[in-house]
């Protein structure tokens, strides 16, 4: 059974603090959506509202056709995986996994068989009689995963499940989570502050800030076409230069920036959103060149990145970072041009602060 999760106009206020403001989110059937953001952005609050540990001030939460908003947490039938694993320390792996089945009144023998099968599926065959204290972090999270999956919930939720694991294990486990979620076709909501983690396993990612979703899109779209400066900054567009469209120049738009320098933006790659706009570029989106069409700059500090050199550059519009080829190291103080690489740049609406 796969269902969708819908949050409609959900707000959560604590006293005068508005943790969530009019949040709308739909996770489609079998889809994995991540909530990504810094701590305090409201991502965990959203998850806890869906789980039923918090009540929204207003709004509706639905799982398929079922209205969850006023349903007590234990009746929601949602599989949860916690950052701290939250295994029952006084129970064996088997009893941990069978706990949810026991609550559903399943008979002992059937319960045991089902739990053992799930323990095998998460790769812990032979560990059924161990206690959580005798397992490694990765093994514990596998038990937590098995415990959440065995009740066959229509919705799985993950609250920073990999934060307590070391780097290599994190990569293995996220692949494992994605594999099991795909295999069961379970709808999933995944909360994390780690961009790489969110982008690597999600169908879509919601980037959150101050209780609002700034953009909800496929990772590829977020990465290359952020909708606003917040998202652009979040996904690594280090340079934001305010520009003004001044005239058409053939199949390009000529834009002027502070200090009077101009840049021709080919229409084939850039759609100018308004007369005043922001030109956003990653460091690799501005290539340092001795000459050509680009933004004039004076080089500052050079650092070595392995695949390129990175320069701090002074332009009339402020300081920017740009990359240059390894074949041509340049000295600080050199006068160069920064040539935009269209696939690492984008244009954004100027936001009134």
Handedness of CA 318, 321, 322, 326 (dihedral sign): positive
Identified binder of other proteins from the candidate list 40, 67, 90, 166, rule CB under 8 A: 90
Query: Under the criterion CB under 8 A, does residue 100 sit at the interface with other proteins?
Result: yes
For residue 58, state whether it binds other proteins (rule: CB under 8 A): no
What letter does residue 90 receive in the DSSP assignment?
T
| 106 scored as a contact of other proteins (CB under 8 A) | no
User: DSSP for 6-18?
Assistant: EEEEEEEEETTEE
Of residues 51 and 61, the one with the C-beta less far from other proteins: 51
Say whether residue 78 binds other proteins (CB under 8 A).
yes
Residue 88, strand partner residues: none
Smaller CB distance to other proteins: residue 32 or 144? Answer: 144
Distances (CA, A) of 91 to 68, 78, 131, 220, 305: 30, 21, 6, 43, 49
Contact between 350 and 273 under an 8 Å Cβ cutoff? The reply is no
Within positions 150 to 209, which residues make up the interface with other proteins, using CB under 8 A?
Answer: 151
Q: Does residue number 73 form part of the binding site for other proteins (CB under 8 A)?
A: yes
Residue 86 or 339 having the CB closest to other proteins: 86
Q: Is 103 among the residues that bind other proteins (CB under 8 A)?
A: yes
* Contact flag: residue 294 with other proteins (CB under 8 A): no
Closest CA to 287 of 328, 317, 253: 328
**Radius of gyration of the chain measured on its C-alpha atoms:** 25
Alpha helices in 22-166 (DSSP H): 43-51, 93-103, 108-121, 137-149
**For residues 136-155, which are near other proteins according to CB under 8 A?**
144, 147-148, 151
> Would you say 14 or 304 has its CB closer to other proteins?
14
Q: Is 77 in the site for other proteins (CB under 8 A)?
A: yes
Using CB under 8 A as the criterion, which residues of the chain lie in contact with other proteins when the complex forms? Answer: 51-53, 72-80, 82-84, 86-90, 99-100, 103-104, 144, 147-148, 151
């Amino acid at each position: 059974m796969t269902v969708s999760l819908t949050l409609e106009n959900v707000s959560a206020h604590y006293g005068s603090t508005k943790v969530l403001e009019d949040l709308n989110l739909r996770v489609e059937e079998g889809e994995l959506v991540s909530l990504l953001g810094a701590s305090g952005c409201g991502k965990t609050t959203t998850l806890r509202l869906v789980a039923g540990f918090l009540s929204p001030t207003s709004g509706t939460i639905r799982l398929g056709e079922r209205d969850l908003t006023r349903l007590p947490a234990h009746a929601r039938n949602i599989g949860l995986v916690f950052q701290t694993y939250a295994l029952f320390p006084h129970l064996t792996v088997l009893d941990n996994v069978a706990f949810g089945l026991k609550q559903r009144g399943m008979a002992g023998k059937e319960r045991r068989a089902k739990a053992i099968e799930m323990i095998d599926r998460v790769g812990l065959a032979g560990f059924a009689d161990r206690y959580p204290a005798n397992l490694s972090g990765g093994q514990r999270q596998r038990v937590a995963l098995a415990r959440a999956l065995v009740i066959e919930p229509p919705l799985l939720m993950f609250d920073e499940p990999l934060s307590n694991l070391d780097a290599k294990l994190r990569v293995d486990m996220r692949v494992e989570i994605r594999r099991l979620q795909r295999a069961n076709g379970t709808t999933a909501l995944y909360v994390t502050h780690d961009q790489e983690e969110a982008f690597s396993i999600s169908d879509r990612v919601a980037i959150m800030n101050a209780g609002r979703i700034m953009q909800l899109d496929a990772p590829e779209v977020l990465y290359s076409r952020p909708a606003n400066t917040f998202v652009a900054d979040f996904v690594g567009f280090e340079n934001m230069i305010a520009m003004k469209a001044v005239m058409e120049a053939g199949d390009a738009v000529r834009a002027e920036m502070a200090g009077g320098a101009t840049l021709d933006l080919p229409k084939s790659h850039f759609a100018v959103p308004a007369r005043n706009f922001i030109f956003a570029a990653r460091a690799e989106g501005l290539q340092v060149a001795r000459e050509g069409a680009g933004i004039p700059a004076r080089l500052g500090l050079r650092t070595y990145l392995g695949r390129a050199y990175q320069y701090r550059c002074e332009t009339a519009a402020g300081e920017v970072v740009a990359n240059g080829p390894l074949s041509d190291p340049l000295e600080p103080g050199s006068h160069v041009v920064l040539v935009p690489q269209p696939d690492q740049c984008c244009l954004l609406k100027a936001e009134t602060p």
